[in-house]
Structure formats: C-alpha cells, structure tokens
Structure 1
Amino acid sequence: MTISIPVSRKVVQVSVFACVLAALQHQQVRANVAAGDNAAERAALCSIIEVAGSRAKLHDQKPTFDSKLQGVMELNVTAAEDTWLTEFRSPEKPTMARDTNKHPLPQDRGWADRWLHWERAASKLLDPASHAERRQHYKLDELSEQQQRNVRAAVARLAEEAFAEATDTAAAAALSDIIDDTTLQKEINQAVYGMDTEPASNFANYKPFNNQPARNRETNCGTANTAGKATNMFEALFCVCAGDSRNNGNAGKACRADASAGSTWNPSTTPAPNAGELQAVGKLSNREGETKLTAADLNNRIATISNLVRRGPSASHIRKFLATNCNGAQANGMCVTYTGITDTTGDVRKAVPWLQKLVQTAAKLRKHEVGVRHIQAVKRSLKAKYNEAKKRILAIIGTGSSTSWDIRSRAGKATGENDESATNLRQAQG
C-alpha cells in the first residue's frame, strides 16, 4: 500500500536553499588554509629529509676483487721457472724486490702495466723458504718437469685472462661509477640544505634563503608570477609549514592538524627565521635512524613530490595556493612557488633546483648499483679462475699424467675458444 504525504512547495524550496547554502559555506571554508591542508606535502618533503644528514647508507657497498686477482697472480709466479722470478729480484740483494728506478724494465716487453701486480705477487716469494713453502702448498713439488711445464702454460693463460678482465675498460668504468656513503650523503644534503652536512639540531650554522631573506613571506616563498628565494628543499618545507605572525584560523596547522608547527615567523621585523622557528619545522621530519637507500627508493620519493606540484597558468606551487600569493595568510596561501613550470610547459624534475639535484643523485646511485654488480661478477670470475688453476694441478697429480686433464673444462668459456686454447697449449708443449 502506498501512502502519499503531501509536501508543500515552500518546504521544498527551503530544503534546496539549505543545501545550496551548506555547499557555499563548505566552499568558502575550503577557500581558506585549513588544518591539515599541507599534510601530504609535509610527508613527501620529509621523506627526503629522513635520508638527509648521515642517515642514508648505500644498499650495496663497494666490493673489491684485489685479493682474488692476487691469488691467481701469485699462483702464476709460484709455478713459473726460477729464471722468471729472478726478474723481480734486486741485483744487489736477491731477497728484495727490484728497484725499477735503478734497474728499469725492458721497454719492448710490455711489462709496465702488469709489473705492479706481478711484483706484489713475487715479493712474497723472493725468500727461498717462502717460495718453497708456496710450491709445497700448491703441490707443485710433486710434479715432474714435463707436468710443471704444462701447469705453467695453463696457469699463465688463466692469469692473463684474469688480468685482462680485472683491468679492462668495463671494469675501470664500473669502478669509477662506484661511490661511498659520504658522497651520497653530501649530494642529498646539498639538495635539502644547500650544505655538505646537515645543520646542527639548533640550526646555528644554517643561513636560510641564501643568507638574503626578504622582509615579506611572498618574496621568500614566491608569488603567482615570481620565483622565491627558497632554493633548497628544507626552505620549501618551511614555506609550506611554518606558522606566520599574521596567521589566523587554522593556517598555522596546515602541516599538522593536531597542533601548529610552533612557529610564528614575522619576516617584516626579522627577515631570517630564528633558530626556534627553524627547529619547529625541522621537528616535523624524522631525523633519527638510517636507511639503506637504493636508486629506486629515491626515485619513488622524488616522484611523490613531483606529483604533488600544483601547476598554474603562470607558475606552479607546492601546496595551498589561493590565486593570490604564498604569504602565509589564511585567505592567500601557505606554499612555495616555482616559475618555469606551468600547466602547459616545464618539467618539475628539471625546473625545481633541489629536485633536479635529487634526480641527478638518483642517476648517480643507479650507476653505482650497476657498477657494484659488474665488479661482483668480476670477483666471482677471478675466484673461478683461481680455483680452476688449482684443480688442474690436482688433476695432473691424481692421474700421474702430463696431458690427461681436460683442457675444455675451463669455466665459462665457449667451445670454440677452448679448442683454440687446446691448440695453443699443444704448441707450447712442443
């Protein structure tokens, strides 16, 4: 059964008016800077400050393959003929290394590039007792003369391959791309603070706005048409979050809905924010602990910030901009402005100075990671060659044969190259 309830036209009109009024009031409220308006921007910017200072650590530290290369080189010199070891001896004192300043290397043998590695390996063997101990360690003293000649040829070839791999252009490029924690931290701090290190907790050594602060917030932080002085990321956070002496309503709570940032900056009387005001904004970010930072992680943090930039017809802004300026007043905006980026042109990652620095740091971090992986691969390869050389010696001892070990067992080599190596070795054996 349907019951019809008559509703007067007057009541309907009043209801519609009430809804429209409520919508207009809501729109008016949102036209002001409200509590929590800039919370997302605060979180995004603080995600970078979180890895500033000395808190960022490389996820992959620099590896080294030097000991692996030296293992192969030392075995090569140990297996070599005594006449070859003589090249490394000082004529004046045979148990000491040759002084190449007094006794230069032969010019026509191409030894200069290899001599440093050879010399390091040979220096441990110049004493006859040490040489005998290493030969016994590798069981070379159990081989016949013919077997030793075969071992020398095989080990020399493996040592040459190891040296070539460790010193080729790819390895050199990889090593040049590898950075350390200090370099990473300096680059992030330059983007965040414009300094190599993070300011002290009281910000005593920090000079905001390039040490040339203006007497109004909009000049420091920017207007719709003019870029401000906030050239590093911490100053962008300050413009977005710092309370203002002219704040009213909830503008001072833009970054924390539960409480204000505790700052009442008044650039008209004191252009540079004081230590207390800087500390209040600094405390919005976590500045404890450490993070194992990767390029992917840093790029994600950068992307989050880039996606929060609000593009306009003449400039772009990070957070609450009300088509007036970023002067901190509730009806105008708490934001930072960047020219060169509009709703039709400009790349945020290139036009914002500190974002550009972070992008470059992420690219450098990516090259570091690729370099580390290459050097780790070289290290594994050198270890395999060293183990292969020892395995060949044991194979000869085990069979009692000078030629029964399998030349084709060389790890990681193509069949064609193995066949060529076998041919070369047979020629060397005569």
Structure 2
Amino acid sequence: MIKQIMISNILVLLVATKGDAAVAACDNAATAGVLCELLALGGVRSLLTQPKPGYDTAHHEILDLNMSLAGESWRSVFEDPKNKGTYPETKPEKFTANKDWDKRWKEWAQTAARLKDNNGIQNNLKEHKLHPRSVQHLSIAKQAILQLANEQSALATQLQRIKADNKILNNERLREKINTALYGENPALEATLTQGAAFEGAAAASRAGNCDGTAKDNKAKTVMAALVCICAKDNSNPLDKVCATHQALSSTWTPNAYPANSVMQEIRKLCPKSKPALLTASRLRQLISAVKSHLTGGSAGITLGKLDTGSDCSGSDNSGLCVKYTDIHDGGSATADDINWIAALNQIADDISSHEEAVATVDRIAEQLADNNAKAKDFIANLEQYTQAQAAVSTAANPKAAQAQENDQKAKNDCGIHSSNQTCTAHKTCKWEGKNETDGKCEVDETKVTRKSNSARIGETANTEGKKCSEKKTEGNCKDGCKWENNACKDSSFLVHKKLALSMATFFGFAFF
C-alpha cells in the first residue's frame, strides 16, 4: 500500500514538473517537420521536367531541303559578295524594296549557311533520294516541301517566342530561386551558410526583435530563419529539445546577433536527408499549405511555433519559441500568403507552373515538327505514285500546273535579287517598277513568263479515255476500262487515280487539288 502511494506521488510530481514549463520538449516537432520538408527542396535536390532535346533545331531538316530544291542560285542570294562564305542575318540595303523578305531573311541566311560546305545542296538532295528524280517529280516535290517549310517556319517562330518569354527554367535557375527562399542566398554548399543571410537587415537586440514583426517586414525572412526561431536553444534558456526529443541542441543562439553557421547546421541536421526529385508546382503548393496549417491565430497576430503565456517569441520556456506576425489577425489586412518567405515560395510555384505550361507547349510543337519531317519522308518515298495520281485528275480538278507554279516562283526569285533598273531589265522576264534607276523594285513581267506543263497532254489522254466511257449509256456496255458509277459510265483508271490522289492529299495535308 505504501509502495503504491509512493509511485502515485512520483507520477503526480512528474506531471506537475512538466506542466510548470509553458514550452516543453517536442512542442515544435511537427512544425519543424513541415519546414524540414521545404528544406529538402534545397541544394541541388529539386529538378524540373525539361523539353525534349533537339526541339529548337527540328525544323532545319525541311528548311534545308526546301532551299536545296530551290537551287544554288537562290542560296547564293544570301552570301555576302564581298566576304565569301559569310551569310549576313540582316537583309542588305539593295533588297530594301522586297518587304516580304524582312521576316524570313534571318532564317533563310541561316539555312544558306548550313548548306554552304561540301556541296551542301547536292548532298542534301542525295540524302533525301531526290537527286535522280525527273523534272516533273522535283516540281511536285518543291510544292509539297515549300508548304511544309512554311509550316515549320511558323512553328519555329512560336518556339522562339516561348524562349523569348524566358518562362522555361533550367535546374540552375530553379536552384537559385529555391535556395534564396530557404536560406537568403544560393550557397555552393548547404553546410556553409552565411551568418545573417537568412534574416533581413541588421540584427535586433533581442530574439523577439528578430522573430516578431509584420508579414512583409519580419526579420525572419526565410525558411531557415523560421526554423531558428522555433528551434534554436537560447543562451538564456535551457530548452534544447523543443523540435526533436532524439537530439539535444548544444549550440546556443545569443539573439543580439544573428545565429552562427554552427547553430543553423545543428538545426538543419534535425531534418532527414533527401534525394534529388522532380518538383512540380502542385507539390510545392501542397508543402506551402502544410506549413500554413501550423499557423495559429490570436487577437495580436498569428504565430508559427509555440507561444504560450508570453506575448512575444522571446525564446524562453515561459513565453515562446516561435515566429510571430503581428498584422495577421481579424482586424488586419495581411494574410498568411503575405508572409515574406511564403510569398517567395508562392512566386516560385507560379514560376514552375508557367514553366510546365511552356514545356508542354514546346513538346507539342516539337511533335508537330517531327510529324512534318516524317510526312516529308513519306511523301518523297511515294513521290512517283503521287505524281501519277495528281496527273490523272489534273484536268478534272483544274489546278495550276506544277511547272507553271515552278516558273512563277523561279521568276519571282530571279527578279527579286536585282536592285537596279539596268540589271533588272537585262533579265527577259523582269520589269522595273521605281522612281529612278535605283529606287524601286524588280518585279516579274507576267506577259513574258513562260508557263509550260505536260498536263495538257495528260489531260487530253484522260479526256479521250473518259469520252470513250461516257458514250456508253448502259451498265451492260460499261466495260473495257470503264466503270458504272452514279448511273454513268466512267473511266475506271481515272477514278482509281483520283481516289488515290485525294487520299494522299488528305494524308499529307497538301492542298494541290
């Protein structure tokens, strides 16, 4: 009986002893835990999803092929005549009148430079198996590749705009942003932190002066500073396990100066080690929300950490080990998101979100560029079949003949390179439109452009064969290369070629018909 009374008295004494201290061991362990999760993002441990490699040069393949098909005369336009082998990316003054060249000149010059060495054009045509093709095949290929080149150029312009917006972050830029929010600096090694970098301005005379303040102006401006305020052993108080029972702190903070590196390192080592991992905007916002859930409010402000009987975060066991924000309360205008280091983390989350959107857009464009490259290869591989199909329906669909289109483009290019009346009119298909001998523009003389095509011959054959079938008025007589369709007798070979041509046009996306 006496033994039981003694045990009861000891338990009462232990409880009473613990209750005497307003702040006790492990009171801030949970809060320190969520702050540690933020510290785990520091150093080089946070990684971002990056665009797939090669996206910014994927359009070169078709642009190079397009210029190769245009020929050496077009490529040479972009070479500096006074400095052979160089290709100025600024349009020369002699081409001032060619306003439609302004937006494309730099891209053309870069393309010409890529094709300048080792018979670049011929090698490019060989690479794409176009060097042995007929004039007719090359003419069709020019139209298709030109259309794809325009698409690639537009997509490349979108990519350049995204890059100019500077929203895509590399891991180094992310590291700097995060470390600054965590430590107030971007240290080469987290094991060596600069004294005072984690806090704002000069140190106050007391711990409360360094840990209490408004949301924007509190001297504890970083995650590391918040951890120091809620965990550090004060030189005037013996509390050394308020953030962890397994490890007593030995370094003390004399708060009329900012904590030394040894104080911060001892607190940082309370946090578990972490491996590098992908960081998303969603993940960072979850961590921020977790921290805000540990804020406790009152009429005089909100605190992070334990504030008991006292009115400020003095670091004593009868007051509080905490960070206090004096303007966040029912009557105040500030919110938890206005807290300086939380605001910095929110901004990083927004930056990561913009990065993720930009990367998704870049990857989508990269897929389109790759699809167009594949489309060009498929088109060239089926070029002969496609040419036959197009010729078969050329009369019915009545497109502008391929050769005529080629002549038009060649004439335009040939005339566009002249910058004086004398050189312009020396070319039989050009005319000078200008105020004087040098102030004007060399344009195509439409009356002198020769438009040749074999489509008439092909069309005549198609018409002849089609007429033979159309003269057969009954399904029974619709034979010998003819097919009955929609109550009429038609040339079956023409129908097959037309369907093939239209299906290929749909597949490749070319509007030739």
TM-score interval for Structure 1 and Structure 2 normalised by the shorter chain: 0.7 to 0.9
Equivalent positions of 1:134-173 (< 5 A) are 134-168=124-158, 171-172=161-162
Q: Which residue of 1 aligns with 2:297?
A: 311
Q: Which residue matches 2:384?
A: 397
The structure, 1 or 2, with the larger RCO (C-alpha pairs under 8 Å, 6+ apart) is 1
Q: Secondary structure at the match of 2:278?
A: strand
Superposed CA offset, 1:157-211 (max 9, x none): 1110111122138953785311111221121122122223366524355445335
Change (3 A) 1:225 1:291: closer
| Matches of 1:326 and 1:217, distance apart in 2 | 7
Which of 363, 367, 372 pairs up with 1:385? 372
Give the AA of the match of 2:308. L
Whether the 8 Å contact between 2:23 and 2:321 is mirrored in structure 1 is: yes
Q: Decide which of 329, 337, 353 is 1:342's aligned counterpart.
A: 329
Choose which of 235, 242, 245 in structure 2 pairs with 1:254: 242
1:74 aligns with 64
**Cα distance between partner residues in 2 of 1:198 and 1:100:** 42
C-alpha distance in structure 2 between counterparts of 1:342 and 1:121, whole Å: 63
| Match in the other structure for 2:173 | 183
- Which residue in 2 is equivalent to 1:363? 350
Matched with 1:409 is 507
Deviates more, 1:207-216 or 1:27-36: 27-36
Superposed displacement of residue 225, structure 1:
12
The answer on whether the counterparts of 1:165 and 1:171 sit within 8 Å (CA) in structure 2 is: no
- Structure-2 change in CA distance of 1:123 and 1:224 (3 Å): closer
8 A Cα contact 1:186 1:196, kept in partner: yes
Q: Which stretch of the first structure deviates more once superposed, 385-394 or 373-382?
A: 385-394
| Alpha-carbon distance, 1:322 to partner | 0.7
Question: Structure 2 vs 1, CA of residues 98 and 43 (structure 1 numbering), >3 Å: closer, same or farther?
Answer: closer
Gaps of 5+ in 2: 1-7, 391-499
Indicate the residue corresponding to 1:222 in structure 2: 212
Question: Could you list the per-position Cα deviations for residues 366-419 of structure 1 after superposition, in whole angstroms to 9, with x for gaps in the alignment?
Answer: 100110010011011011111111211111135662726521113xxxxxxx5x
Secondary structure of the equivalent of 1:168?
helix
TM-score, normalised with respect to structure 1: 0.80
Distance 1:397 1:349, change over 3 A: farther
- Residue 114 of structure 2 aligns to a residue whose secondary structure is coil
Say whether residues 1:299 and 2:289 are aligned partners.
no
CA distance in 1, matches of 2:385, 2:370: 22
In the TM superposition, structure 1's runs of 4+ consecutive aligned residues that sit over 6 Å from their partners are 223-227
CA shift in 2, pair 1:91/1:196, >3 Å:
same
**Does the C-alpha gap of structure 1 residues 347 and 100 become closer, same or farther in structure 2, counting only changes over 3 Å?**
closer
1:330 corresponding residue in structure 2: 317
Q: Which has the higher strand share?
A: 2
Question: Post-superposition shift, 1:82?
Answer: 4.2
Alpha-carbon spacing, 1:302–1:26, altered in 2? closer, same or farther (3 Å): farther
Q: 2:195·2:259 contact (CA, 8 Å) conserved in 1?
A: no
Return the offset for 1:93. Answer: 7.2
Percent sequence identity is: 26
**Superposed counterparts of 1:272-291, under 5 Å:** 272-286=258-272, 289-291=275-277
Q: How far apart, CA to CA, are the structure 2 residues paired with 1:62 and 1:228?
A: 42
Query: Which letter does structure 2 place at the counterpart of 1:145?
Result: V
Which of 39, 43, 46 lines up with 2:29 in the alignment? 39
Do the aligned partners of residues 189 and 252 (structure 1) sit closer, same or farther apart at CA in structure 2, a change above 3 Å counting? Answer: same
Structure 2: distance between partners of 1:90 and 1:223: 65
**Equivalent of residue 306 in structure 2, options 320, 329, 339:** 320
Q: Distance in 2 between matches of 1:223 and 1:399?
A: 76
* CA positional deviation for 1:67: 2.0
Task: Establish whether residue 352 from structure 1 lines up as the match of residue 339 from structure 2.
Answer: yes
TM-score for the superposition, normalised by structure 2: 0.68
What 5-or-longer segments of structure 1 have no aligned partner? 1-17, 411-417
Please give the alpha-carbon distance, in whole angstroms, between the structure 1 residues aligned to 2:90 and 2:215: 68
Q: How far apart, in 1, do the equivalents of 2:124 and 2:216 lie?
A: 74
Shift of 1:98: 6.1
Alpha-carbon RMSD: 3.5
- 1:242 alignment partner AA: A
* 1:33 counterpart SS class: coil
Matches of 2:90 and 2:51, distance apart in 1: 36
